[in-house]
C-alpha cells in the first residue's frame, strides 16, 4: 500500500523553477532514498511533503490526507495553522542542522512535541522519551544541553524527537552532511535500525553506501525532475542515463 503519493509537484521561487513536475510514490515500510547534485530540488521536495514549502501545482498525499489543503470539488483551500500542525505531527522531519532547542535538555527536546501538540501527560511523555533516547543510544545524555553534545549525538536526539510524535513517515534531509566524518556512522547505524522496524522513511542523502544497502528504492534527481528510479544497485551500478552515470562515477 502506498503511504506517500506525490503527483506532478511544481515549485518555483519567482522565475526560478525548482521542481518541474515530480511524481512518485512510497510504499508503507519502504526506505526511499533520493540522491542527486546540489540544486536538483531534493531538499525542497522534502519541505513540500510536510508543507514547510507551499507547492505551485500538483498534489501530495500521506495515506488519505491531502497535505496542506482541503479540496472542495476542483478548488483547493489552504488549511488553517491548527490543521497544518495536526498534519505535520504525523510527518517526522530530521534536518541536516539538527534544529534542537538550545535552551532545553535532550529529554526536554523529545517531550516538547507530544506535550504541546498531542497533550500527552508529562509523565507518559517522559517515559516514552527515555525509551526513545535509549533506542538511539542517548539515554545517558538526557540531561545534557545541545551545546554539550557532539553533532552526531545531537542528530540522534533529533531522530528521537521525530519518533516521539509516532509519525507515519520520517523525512531525513541529508542528516549526516553537517557531521564530522567520524560521527557519520553512529547516525547511519540508528537509521539502519529504524529501517528494520518497518518505519517508512524518505531520505535525501549523499551516503551512497547507505542508499545501496538499506534503501528499498533509489531516486536520482537532476534540475528539478526525477531522472531515474529503481532498485538502488540498479540505479547506482547499471544506470543507462548519462547524467546519472556521470554523477555516480564522480562519487564512487
| pLDDT tens digits, 101-141 | 999 999 999 999 999 999 999 999 999 999 999 999 999 99
CA distance 64 to 149: 39
- Cell numbers 501530495 correspond to 60
134/63 same-domain check: no
pLDDT at 235 over 90: yes
179/209 same-domain check: yes
> How are beta strands 57-62 and 2-13 bridged, if at all?
antiparallel
- The tens digit of pLDDT for each residue in 23-33 reads 999 999 999 99
Per-residue confidence (pLDDT) for residue 251, from 0 to 100:
85
For 94, the grid coordinates are 530530521
CA distance 192 to 109: 23
Range of the domain at 205: 1-90+171-252
CA distance 222 to 32: 17
Per-residue confidence (pLDDT) for residue 20, from 0 to 100:
98
Percentage, residues of the chain above pLDDT 70: 100
Considering the chain, what is the average pLDDT of its residues?
95
For 193, the grid coordinates are 535500525
Per-residue confidence (pLDDT) for residue 252, from 0 to 100:
79
Percentage, residues of the chain above pLDDT 90: 91
* Mean pLDDT calculated for residue range 222-245: 95
The residue among 166, 190, 205 that closes a domain is 166
For 214, the grid coordinates are 538499506
- From residue 121, give the alpha-carbon distance in Å to each of 108, 109, 111: 14, 15, 10
179/238 same-domain check: yes
- From residue 250, give the alpha-carbon distance in Å to each of 18, 34, 36, 129, 238: 24, 17, 12, 41, 15
The residue among 145, 166, 187 that closes a domain is 166
13/129 same-domain check: no
> How are beta strands 200-204 and 65-66 bridged, if at all?
unpaired
Per-residue confidence (pLDDT) for residue 126, from 0 to 100:
98
- The tens digit of pLDDT for each residue in 69-95 reads 988 888 888 899 989 998 999 999 999
247/197 same-domain check: yes
Per-residue confidence (pLDDT) for residue 76, from 0 to 100:
84
Per-residue confidence (pLDDT) for residue 48, from 0 to 100:
97
Task: State pTM to two decimals.
Answer: 0.95
Q: How many domains in the chain?
A: 2
Amino acid at each position: 500500500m502506498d503511504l506517500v503519493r506525490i503527483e506532478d509537484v511544481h515549485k518555483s521561487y519567482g522565475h526560478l523553477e525548482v521542481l518541474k513536475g515530480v511524481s512518485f510514490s512510497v510504499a508503507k515500510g519502504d526506505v526511499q532514498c533520493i540522491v542527486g547534485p546540489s540544486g536538483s530540488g531534493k531538499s525542497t521536495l522534502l519541505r513540500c511533503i510536510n508543507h514547510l514549502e507551499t507547492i505551485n501545482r500538483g498534489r501530495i498525499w500521506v495515506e488519505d490526507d491531502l497535505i496542506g489543503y482541503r479540496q472542495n470539488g476542483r478548488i483547493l483551500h489552504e488549511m488553517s495553522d491548527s490543521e497544518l500542525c495536526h498534519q505535520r505531527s504525523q510527518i517526522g522531519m530530521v534536518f541536516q542542522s539538527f534544529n534542537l532547542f538550545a535552551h532545553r535538555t535532550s529529554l526536554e527536546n523529545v517531550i516538547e512535541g507530544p506535550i504541546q501538540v498531542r497533550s500527552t501527560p508529562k509523565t507518559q511523555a517522559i517515559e516514552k522519551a527515555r525509551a526513545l533516547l535509549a533506542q538511539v543510544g542517548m539515554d545517558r545524555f538526557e540531561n545534557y544541553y545541545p551545546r554539550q553534545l557532539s553533532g552526531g549525538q545531537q542528530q540522534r536526539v533529533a531522530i528521537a524527537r521525530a519518533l516521539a510524535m509516532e509519525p507515519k513517515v520520517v523525512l531525513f534531509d541529508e542528516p549526516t552532511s553537517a557531521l564530522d566524518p567520524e560521527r557519520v556512522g553512529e547516525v547511519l547505524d540508528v537509521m539502519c535500525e529504524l529501517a528494520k522496524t518497518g518505519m517508512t522513511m524518505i531520505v535525501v542523502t549523499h551516503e551512497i553506501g547507505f542508499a545501496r544497502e538499506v534503501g528499498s528504492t533509489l531516486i536520482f534527481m537532476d534540475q528539478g525532475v526525477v531522472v531515474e528510479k529503481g532498485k538502488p544497485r540498479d540505479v547506482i551500478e547499471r544506470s543507462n542515463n548519462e547524467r546519472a552515470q556521470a554523477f555516480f562515477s564522480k562519487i564512487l
